[in-house]
Amino acid sequence: QKKITIAIDGYSSTGKSTIAKQLAKKLGYIYVDTGAMYRAVTLFAMQNGFIDSEKTNASALVKLLPKIDLKFVYNKDLGFAEMFLNNENVEKEIRSLDVSKNVSQIATIAEVRYKLVEMQKKMGIEKGIVMDGRDIGTVVFPDAELKLFMTASAEKRATRRYKELLDKGDKVTFDDVLKNVQQRDYIDSNREFSPLRQAADAIEFDNSDMGLEEQFERIYNYAIRVI
């Protein structure tokens, strides 16, 4: 059976990672969550005081980029890889609303994107990979055999993310979450370097009114048609 590259892009909180993880597991592929990498760099910037009251000291961060070591470490019990920043497990911190509020700003910085895209390309050299993000089908793997572009209404997406954060015990309001989802979509779609775009050869997948099972079945069928 030939191995392919699967690129999943789309707006914030469209459930990309849930589907991507499931698909990778079923196919025996590697799964890479590129959002986690942008989130870890953002956490580093916050820890070092490069972001305060919504202003970002991009040049200070860029100088320290070589000192940022990012690693995915597979956790057997969880069944997926966790993000390590300079040898520390930051999986939990990077999912907070605080990091979500700053990450899109950090993701506009060309040097940050360059570093992470290089790492991502290397991870996919042998194919057999499902990668999700914003620029996977357009920039990281323009030759991916299967590209999906996930969409859903902002309200649906915010509702899902709000429930997730509440379940984790984060004290957030629905309005805050909705605002964050819309803000990230806006910044991600309008930035200068590799903005969020649907690749010409990507399949648009609107899951506003679709359960997980149906989504998985449809997407798995797309995959096996190509493999």
**Binding-site entries:** 10-18
| Sole binder of ligand C5P in the list 29, 31, 38, 205 (CB under 6 A) | 38
**Angle in degrees, CA 59, 65, 66, rounded to 5:** 135
Residue selected from 22, 24, 35, 177 as contacting ligand C5P according to rule CB under 6 A: 35
Q: Which of 19, 50, 81, 134 binds ligand C5P (CB under 6 A)?
A: 134
Name, in order, each residue with C-beta under 8 angstroms of 69's C-beta and a sequence gap of 6 or more: 84, 85, 86, 87
Please tell me whether residue 161 binds ligand C5P under the rule CB under 6 A.
no
Q: Which CA distances in Å does 162 have to 9, 105, 118, 170?
A: 21, 21, 32, 9
The letter for the amino acid at 68 is I
DSSP state, residue 125: T
What binding mask, one character per residue, do residues 5-24 give for ligand C5P by CB under 6 A, x or -? -------x------------
> C-beta of 212: minimal distance to ligand C5P in Å?
18
Tokens of 217: 């079945």
107 near ligand C5P, rule: CB under 6 A? yes
Nearer to ligand C5P, 74 or 186 (CB): 186
Interface with ligand C5P, residue 34, by CB under 6 A: yes
Separation between Cα atoms, residue 43 and residue 31, nearest integer Å: 22
Residues that bind ligand C5P (CB under 6 A): 12, 34-35, 38-39, 103-104, 107, 133-135, 184, 188
